[in-house]
Structure 1
Amino acid sequence: MEFLGTTQTASYCGSRRSCLFPDPAPTSTTKDTYQSYYLPGYRYLNSWRPSLFYKVSSVPPSPDDQLNPARWPPTVLPSLRSALHARYSPHDWHQTNLVQLKGSEASRHWAGKLNTDSMRLMRDKDQLTYQMQEDSRRNLGERLSNLDFWKAELVYEQECLLTENHALETAKKRLKCAADEAQGPLQVALECLYNREKRMGIDLVHDDVEKSLIKEVDLLKDWQARMRKLAERISQQLGINRDVQHTLEQDLSDKNSAHFIDEKCFNLRNTSDSISFYHGVEKIDGTVSVPETWAKFSEDNIKSSQHARANSIRLRDETEAALENASEEMWSHFTSTNLAFNNRISEVADAKNKLQAQLAKILQEIFQTENTIMLLERSIMAKECPLKVAQTRLEGRTKRPNIELCRDAPQFQLVNEVFTIDDTLQTLKQRLREARDTLQMLVLNKSKLEHELSVKTNSFIIDKKCMDRRKAFPSTPRLVGYT
């Protein structure tokens, strides 16, 4: 039989191989077209491309084609008949077609299964990605709620602490004002003590007024020292409160920053413009706390603030009680000192009045004594002439001659008269000396009374001056620190 044309070698025919079993489905297709899915930005997925390509066989033009433009099939030349024995048999041809069909069917089945699995995998991964994104968004929302809660707690505690600091500052100012206000009564009490040192003589007595003034000075100084110590304690507490306030402000600032960042992250969507790849960011762990320690940090800050506020409240209560007690004790002691002053002034005035009355009596007695002395002197002078007469008579009678020197009655009478007048003169002179001594004593008493009266007058004036200085005493509101 003669074949027309030339036979072309089929492109699917290669080296001879066994036709008993079909070739296994190519595995390189699946390996090249499917890879594990990672998060975006970590590994780029290769586009799927089939590994089987169809090639169009090209046959170079033969010399006959060039010589025969009409392309008539030439007859088989005898020289080519020997090549017919190298061709495949029909069985090989059918077997090859069957193998090719089975291989194509297996490849198609494998590709369909791969497509189905890929679609399911993509749906699962899409759902997983969406669910994880929603979980992340929900966690961010919960985190924002926690941040809002702690922010509200910190803001409330900060406001309470600021209010307490303001109240503590007011208490400190009241203590300083009260201590300054007590300086006036203290100066008055000291001035009273200094003025009472100007008392003279026996009036320099450690009386109830001086005791009360000393107690008043000690009381005022003691309360001033206590108020200054309380003010120092308040200053220290204010320093602690400011440190706690700074901690609260820092914590609140950090939470505001975290809230802004988390809110920005919460509002991010797949269509947002600000999203980008940050390779390796998941490997960086810059966290310094866990939710428990994070919440405990703010809770400890709030507890510290509450403890500081409790100490501040106790200090304010102590300050209020101290100011009230100081005011009551100052007023009580001021009243008792004034009462002692009034009693002392009354005593001095009474003593002064008695001295004045006694001085008046002494002056009257001095006047009487001076009159008596004057009368005694006159009486003595009046007795000199009778004495002279009597003595002259006696002297004259001594000149009587001889027997006429008689101790007669006139002689006895004259002698008796001289002795009597002399005794009278001695008695009057003695009484005159006594009168003069009494006058000197009265004058001395008068001087003493006048000196004592001047002393009492001086003491009376000093105490009255002190009472005039003590008329102005701070009111209770000023003593407790209110201006």
Structure 2
Amino acid sequence: MLKEIYSDLQGQILQAFETLIRMQEASDAFYTDIADKNEAMHIDIDQYNLNEKSANISFKPFATRKPEHQLDLQSWEDLSRSILERACAEIARGAEVIHRLHLGVHQAANKMGAKSDRVGDALRVRVHDTERAIRELEFQRSMMETEQEKMQQETRNLEEARRAKRASLKLAQTRLEGRQDRPGNENNEDAAHAGLLDELNGIVDSIDALDEQITKSK
């Protein structure tokens, strides 16, 4: 759009300059004609005021000669009218060009205003979308932080449970090994031995399961 507006205004400005040149030429011709007429009028007045006693009165044997480029009355009137009509035409054309230029500038301003409004609307939509995206990201971040804290707490709980199980494991191993010191035939695989062995294996399985959960949680 900017290139189109620039091109239109540039064309109108160029046309305005060309019109100004023609107006200047017509103006120069018009004022030259006026100056010539004023000079001719002063000459005619001077000749009218002469009398027999005026200075520089003498015989002029070539007074009846026709000077070069002398016009007849009709040609003089036609030329004067042509110069005047040309000046009037250029003035009218200049007024028309000025009107079109003003109109072009006004239209360009309206287009730029409309473009500015559209850009403003687009920016407002963009800002709204960005703010909404930021809010969504902040919400997601909050959810992630909450979830992360929850997972960290679960990991701490699992590690605490593992420490407790390891303490139980040490106790079970100590009891099982301590019963091996029973003398003679008393050192047998009785129900207590089987119970301690099952307990120890269960504790080991629990610790393995906790280790796996801790690894996954991390």
TM above 0.5, one fold? yes
- The reply on whether 1:346 has 2:124 as its aligned counterpart is no
- The reply on whether 1:332 has 2:84 as its aligned counterpart is no
Specify which of 286, 292, 297 is matched with residue 67 of structure 2. Answer: 286
Instruction: Provide Cα deviations, 1:311-365, integer angstroms capped at 9, x if missing partner.
Output: 3123112201111111111111111211221221122122212222222232222
Give distance in 2, aligned partners of 1:306 and 1:246: 13
Aligned position for 1:374? 156
Give distance in 2, aligned partners of 1:247 and 1:359: 82
- The reply on whether 1:252 has 2:34 as its aligned counterpart is yes
- The reply on whether 1:428 has 2:210 as its aligned counterpart is yes
Aligned position for 1:393? 175
TM-score by length of 2: 0.84
Q: CA deviation at 1:273?
A: 2.6
Specify which of 117, 126, 145 is matched with residue 363 of structure 1. Answer: 145
Q: CA deviation at 1:394?
A: 2.9
Aligned position for 2:198? 416
Give distance in 1, aligned partners of 2:52 and 2:177: 166
Instruction: Provide Cα deviations, 1:30-64, integer angstroms capped at 9, x if missing partner.
Output: xxxxxxxxxxxxxxxxxxxxxxxxxxxxxxxxxxx
Q: CA deviation at 1:232?
A: 3.6
- The reply on whether 1:384 has 2:166 as its aligned counterpart is yes
Give distance in 1, aligned partners of 2:84 and 2:196: 130
Give distance in 2, aligned partners of 1:239 and 1:361: 75
Q: How many residues are aligned here? A: 215
Give distance in 2, aligned partners of 1:327 and 1:272: 73
Give distance in 2, aligned partners of 1:385 and 1:276: 153
Give distance in 2, aligned partners of 1:257 and 1:384: 129
Aligned position for 2:77? 295
Give distance in 1, aligned partners of 2:131 and 2:149: 27
Gaps of 5+ in 1: 1-217, 437-483
Give distance in 2, aligned partners of 1:272 and 1:414: 166
Give distance in 1, aligned partners of 2:100 and 2:62: 60
Secondary structure of 2:60 counterpart: coil
Q: CA deviation at 1:367?
A: 2.3
Q: CA deviation at 1:299?
A: 2.1
Moved over 6 A (4+): none
Q: CA deviation at 1:366?
A: 2.4
Q: CA deviation at 1:244?
A: 1.2
Give distance in 2, aligned partners of 1:256 and 1:249: 10
Aligned position for 1:13? none
Give distance in 2, aligned partners of 1:402 and 1:290: 166
Specify which of 50, 53, 73 is matched with residue 273 of structure 1. Answer: 53
Q: CA deviation at 1:246?
A: 0.9
The amino acid across from 1:273 in the alignment is K
Q: Among all aligned residue pairs of Structure 1 and Structure 2, give the percentage whose two residues are the same amino acid.
A: 24
Give distance in 2, aligned partners of 1:401 and 1:293: 159
Give distance in 2, aligned partners of 1:394 and 1:326: 98
TM-score by length of 1: 0.41
Q: CA deviation at 1:245?
A: 0.8
The amino acid across from 1:322 in the alignment is G
Secondary structure of 1:285 counterpart: coil
Larger radius of gyration: 1
Instruction: Provide Cα deviations, 1:186-217, integer angstroms capped at 9, x if missing partner.
Output: xxxxxxxxxxxxxxxxxxxxxxxxxxxxxxxx
**Which of the pair is proportionally richer in helix?**
2
Give distance in 1, aligned partners of 2:62 and 2:143: 121
Give distance in 2, aligned partners of 1:401 and 1:273: 181
Give distance in 2, aligned partners of 1:378 and 1:332: 68
